[in-house]
Structure 1
């Protein structure tokens, strides 16, 4: 009841004041004429207090119950007083006004006739009033004024709703503008980084290879000048890329989310609480952006569609994952349809091996949870790489780009697949980044040869081919990743780390086509690797014909015991979505469609 009163506007308090003044005035009058009352004064006063309080309490619950109790209790005491004092009919003018003001919808069809016609007829029957027309006029005028007041209230409420929606729309448009600008900045920075950065690196590497061929002093001086110009231009591009980063990108995750909630609370006039749990740890920019977008969309939906007045936001840093939870007190719904914003949230989380879950019920509010696995970084671990490509400029460019990262070391360069196989025996690299189309021995044959002799060496195919059949053939041959050369250099470094820890990655440009033709779930494309400390280098890959990792075999063993994904996730301290991704990857490698086929095939192969 008190929650309802908290939401009252000025007109609700005005009606209560009118009602209170009318009741107090009538109580004082009854005390003054107590000697002329036929009933004991205590009964009359109790009746009057009940006529004031019961309809008012009923109004807080349902307006129809108020109308009935108002007519019975207040109308009854007026009829009693009219039998003693004919002029007491005037005391029903205030209730007539209140009945009209609090009526709604179809209730006017019966409250108006009863108030303006029915009740005056009863008064004429029980009293000795000569001029009955005056009663009809007075009650009709009071009811008309009450109806006019009701229209004023409805208009005011509609204006409030429109005003609130305008606030929400302004906030939403502001977010859309920010998102558009940020996405354009990201697109521009990526385009410049991929095109200009790659071009300058290739030019520099090409000029470096010309040094031995320029024996004259003038030629060396000219070459040095060109190299200086190229390096200076490349530094300018990098400075420009850092300069176009938005303020939101430069802030830590906690501060950017807190600032977003404060701005939304101020503009949308909604109470938003923000809390953090656990020890804060740095997250990749893609993960920070996913959390930021999820919170933006959830706040907007909570107010725009759910009509929420209070929203609680919590960010939890855990050992294996980071979780953002948005809980509101809105209307909720038993069935929620995935709109554009919700689909975008789920897609962002899925691309980072995470998930977005939405729980809602009618009149129970909505809970949105965005969970992303935590990438365990080990900067002290150095990944030894072998680069295999038939184009010298590409090899040199890749070496320059990758060696900018302290944990990546290029141990050797190979010009074809045969040379890559030979260098694997001498250099023993942790991971091979290999082109697909090369002379003497192509990437497919080299992958098969390397996996046959050294199954623990991870292999990432880096090619320009988007052929689905070739991609599937390469993956079945044992490759651990299939990427396109248009990939952003920073993303390439992150992918190498992920594959080195036991993960599998396929370029997004061909993933949808690949699994549409193979009729496999898209979750098989990206799977979170096990933590590096759990899997020593010499045990990262089990020697099996399907290339299953130890973690995948562990998941397969749980599946063979009939355990559900949630149970497996609890046992391994993983998220439900991560376990599903592992299972999908197992199905893909075994070339099966469901759990039963996977268990049967694994049992036949002796994996269980």
Structure 2
């Protein structure tokens, strides 16, 4: 940091000390010129000495307070000792220096700067100038030192108050965002509960009443049935109206607008510069994706100020054909050893639930880059997904068909009540995705999934069941199924997950995924004792290996990005993911691990 940047960060007390120093040095210089006839040294030499006594300690103060104290005592003290040998009253010129020494005696340096200033220098002055008023001189210097130390305490208190005020500002902003997120999630939870209970009940009533119509022969019975149906439909419309009213204003805003609003509020409260960049044309997103990006930006901004001490933050939002990426780059201090906290774990969990990922790149002196990437999940305007629903309960089959056919891009082409019928309908209807229950008569869902995948590998299979059995879930996934969800899922999320699986994604219910990961980790600890890892164990992609090879050659990320025609943030994202898979913290460890594993030649 240069001198100009340092001066720009000064507070009022820094300017007071500079003015105090200027006034004292200027007064001494004028007095020296007036009495130069009685001075033994040449005038130019004495003026030069005074300039050094003024400038050198002040420059040292910008580096370290200990250097300042030593140079102030040596240069200013030496000058006063010389002048008092000629003029005993010249000790008064040392008073500004005594004040500044006390002000800048940080930590416990006052234990030695005080005795040197109050006792040693007056003693030397008495010896050299035969000063008769030694006690008065020591009292004057001691009193000025005490005033300077009191001013020092005032400065320390002011600095601590500024730090507390800044932290309180960030904390208030963080609490405000937490309150907003909590309200939004509570609205979301309540809307789900209403939708899954009251809405589901109304749907069941309507479907049940419709099935009674053929059994009613009298006109009065049909009129009564129509009246009940109208009442039920009116009730479900009212429920939907309440659900829309429960949506928070944040959820109704476009993603870019809500993120910019968050950045502007944070910039106003935390006193940092937040700059936005957008790439691509914005398109609608589900509210779960909006909330994930909102939460990711909120946590990244807070961490950048609280832990990274950043002053400038750049937020980039990229809308691409198949995914959306949010990058938050700060100019903070960074860190060599990054540890995921509660907030970052929550960000990663949100992204994982939407089949996305969050990565963090940080290095000491280079700031921090947080990247959140989510796949695009919207209705397909140019194609329709053909669905086959397999469930042994007729009511569940009909309910799912009613719910899913409310979406333009979803079409139910068949209903099956067991595994054997599901295989027959796959041949007849050629569905693109099968919603499969597990507990089926004649042939269960696992066996049916295996046969469907063997015969029609292109058909995507999404298990939709009631049970949370980890052994069963692992067997299902090994059989070739592309997803595992619970029937308690909210209908809108079901439609979005169907689109995701149809595009090639793999999906596992959040609660089930935690159980599966715990089981797999336990199995891994039991079976893999000291087994050396290979490329298959690390599960690195070809692109990640390519970037590791370029990193091993000493190339910087910007050079790699230019060479591969990628953005700098994308290369950092690939590198961070590779480091995570290898279980390393930096490029040196990654190169060593890659050499041991045989990735690098």
- Per the normalisation by structure 1, the TM-score is 0.84
Mark the CA change 1:18 to 1:515 in structure 2 (over 3 Å): closer, same or farther: closer
Q: Which position in structure 2 is the counterpart of 1:255?
A: 257
Is the counterpart of residue 424 in structure 1 residue 426 in structure 2? yes
| Equivalent of 1:97 in 75, 96, 99 | 99
Q: Separation in 1 of the partners of 2:233 and 2:354? A: 34
Give the stretch that moved more between structures: 211-220 or 353-362: 353-362
| Equivalent of 1:478 in 460, 472, 480 | 480
Q: Report the 3-state secondary structure (helix = DSSP H, G, I; strand = E; otherwise coil) of the residue aligned with 1:145.
A: helix
Matches within 5 A, 1:448-459: 448-459=450-461
Q: Which position in structure 1 is the counterpart of 2:545?
A: 564
Contact kept in structure 1, 2:284 and 2:378, CA below 8 Å: no
Q: Report the 3-state secondary structure (helix = DSSP H, G, I; strand = E; otherwise coil) of the residue aligned with 1:367.
A: strand
| Equivalent of 2:348 in 337, 346, 349 | 346
Q: Separation in 2 of the partners of 1:414 and 1:373? A: 31
CA-atom RMSD in angstroms: 3.0
Contact kept in structure 1, 2:58 and 2:68, CA below 8 Å: yes
Is the counterpart of residue 76 in structure 1 residue 78 in structure 2? yes
Mark the CA change 1:518 to 1:252 in structure 2 (over 3 Å): closer, same or farther: same
Mark the CA change 1:520 to 1:275 in structure 2 (over 3 Å): closer, same or farther: farther
Contact kept in structure 2, 1:384 and 1:408, CA below 8 Å: yes
Contact kept in structure 2, 1:112 and 1:143, CA below 8 Å: yes
Q: Which position in structure 2 is the counterpart of 1:500?
A: 502
Contact kept in structure 2, 1:316 and 1:323, CA below 8 Å: yes
Give the stretch that moved more between structures: 418-427 or 4-13: 418-427
Q: Report the 3-state secondary structure (helix = DSSP H, G, I; strand = E; otherwise coil) of the residue aligned with 1:105.
A: coil
Q: Separation in 2 of the partners of 1:476 and 1:358? A: 32
Q: Report the 3-state secondary structure (helix = DSSP H, G, I; strand = E; otherwise coil) of the residue aligned with 1:432.
A: strand
Q: Report the 3-state secondary structure (helix = DSSP H, G, I; strand = E; otherwise coil) of the residue aligned with 1:455.
A: coil
Q: Separation in 1 of the partners of 2:120 and 2:81? A: 12
CA positional deviation for 1:149: 0.9
Mark the CA change 1:473 to 1:578 in structure 2 (over 3 Å): closer, same or farther: farther
Give the stretch that moved more between structures: 23-32 or 315-324: 315-324
> What do the CA deviations read for 1:75-132 (whole angstroms, capped 9, x no partner)?
1221222122221111001101110111112211211111111111111122142222
Q: Separation in 1 of the partners of 2:351 and 2:522? A: 20
> What do the CA deviations read for 1:122-162 (whole angstroms, capped 9, x no partner)?
11122142222221111111111111111111122222222
Q: Which position in structure 2 is the counterpart of 1:186?
A: 188
Q: Which position in structure 1 is the counterpart of 2:11?
A: 9
Matches within 5 A, 1:278-317: 278-317=280-319
| Equivalent of 1:271 in 265, 270, 273 | 273
CA positional deviation for 1:21: 0.7
Q: Separation in 1 of the partners of 2:145 and 2:84? A: 20
Matches within 5 A, 1:441-452: 441-452=443-454
Mark the CA change 1:186 to 1:2 in structure 2 (over 3 Å): closer, same or farther: same
Gaps of 5+ in 1: 523-554, 585-594, 596-608
Q: Which position in structure 2 is the counterpart of 1:119?
A: 121
CA positional deviation for 1:579: 8.9
CA positional deviation for 1:476: 2.9
Q: Report the 3-state secondary structure (helix = DSSP H, G, I; strand = E; otherwise coil) of the residue aligned with 1:564.
A: helix
Give the stretch that moved more between structures: 97-106 or 2-11: 2-11
CA positional deviation for 1:518: 4.2
Contact kept in structure 2, 1:482 and 1:507, CA below 8 Å: yes
CA positional deviation for 1:337: 2.3
Matches within 5 A, 1:171-570: 171-375=173-377, 378-519=380-521, 564=545, 566=547
Q: Separation in 1 of the partners of 2:404 and 2:267? A: 44
Q: Separation in 2 of the partners of 1:565 and 1:244? A: 49
CA positional deviation for 1:561: 8.5
Contact kept in structure 2, 1:451 and 1:478, CA below 8 Å: yes
CA positional deviation for 1:416: 2.7
Q: Which position in structure 2 is the counterpart of 1:163?
A: 165
CA positional deviation for 1:577: 9.7
Give the stretch that moved more between structures: 345-354 or 147-156: 345-354
Q: Separation in 1 of the partners of 2:239 and 2:546? A: 47
Contact kept in structure 2, 1:412 and 1:427, CA below 8 Å: yes
Q: Which position in structure 2 is the counterpart of 1:140?
A: 142
Contact kept in structure 1, 2:377 and 2:496, CA below 8 Å: no
Q: Report the 3-state secondary structure (helix = DSSP H, G, I; strand = E; otherwise coil) of the residue aligned with 1:356.
A: strand
Mark the CA change 1:563 to 1:354 in structure 2 (over 3 Å): closer, same or farther: closer
Q: Report the 3-state secondary structure (helix = DSSP H, G, I; strand = E; otherwise coil) of the residue aligned with 1:280.
A: coil
CA positional deviation for 1:211: 0.7
Q: Report the 3-state secondary structure (helix = DSSP H, G, I; strand = E; otherwise coil) of the residue aligned with 1:275.
A: strand
CA positional deviation for 1:328: 2.8
CA positional deviation for 1:368: 2.1
How many residues align structurally?
A: 551
Contact kept in structure 2, 1:386 and 1:411, CA below 8 Å: yes
Q: Report the 3-state secondary structure (helix = DSSP H, G, I; strand = E; otherwise coil) of the residue aligned with 2:207.
A: helix
Q: Separation in 1 of the partners of 2:190 and 2:388? A: 31
CA positional deviation for 1:260: 0.5
> What do the CA deviations read for 1:487-539 (whole angstroms, capped 9, x no partner)?
111121122222222232222232232343344999xxxxxxxxxxxxxxxxx
Q: Separation in 2 of the partners of 1:579 and 1:326? A: 16
Mark the CA change 1:32 to 1:2 in structure 2 (over 3 Å): closer, same or farther: same
Mark the CA change 1:577 to 1:493 in structure 2 (over 3 Å): closer, same or farther: farther
CA positional deviation for 1:464: 1.3
Mark the CA change 1:308 to 1:476 in structure 2 (over 3 Å): closer, same or farther: closer
